[in-house]
Structure 1
């Protein structure tokens, strides 16, 4: 996983997000309790591949849905899963050089 530049475009962010999401889905595959979160992540892999709307908008919606899934189901994440979610949510932070 490479570090994105602050000015990285939507395509670069989408590719990185898909990579992280795929890893997370694989990590969560062993836990039946975390199936709702796994489903949310899988849905956003498909949304990013289809590109029906702008990548920053998809990432923003994804962050809200992940937060809702975590809150509603009260999951306990491993350190690795938590780090990957942090990296995933950071992709939505776009700095516009103003």
Structure 2
């Protein structure tokens, strides 16, 4: 994703990544707090009631808290998906 991509593109990519991550977590049947967080933020991104950068920023914090709460160790593929989600909130402003 380009650094100058708009909110709708970031939202679409985040929803795709969240769905893939939820599928992986359901197969493993672990990480209930993380699954709840991802489901909540997927709904929030789909409803578009707040700005996408704000939602993604809050999502990053919620993911970190859920991982600590669950004591979950992610697989390499799941870690890459979480990394991709957090990268979506990297927006460069200015020149």
TM normalised by structure 2 equals: 0.95
2:38 to 36, 41, 49: 41
Aligned residues: 95
* Residue 16 in structure 1 maps to residue 21 in structure 2: no
1:83 to 76, 80, 83: 80
Unmatched runs of 5 consecutive residues or more in structure 2: none
Aligned residues: CA RMSD: 0.9
How far, CA to CA, are the matches of 1:26 and 1:32 in structure 2?
10
> How far apart are residue 45 of structure 1 and its match?
0.6
Unmatched runs of 5 consecutive residues or more in structure 1: none
Q: Which has the higher helix share?
A: 2
In the alignment, which residue of structure 1 is the partner of 2:3? 6
1:95 to 65, 88, 92: 92
TM normalised by structure 1 equals: 0.92
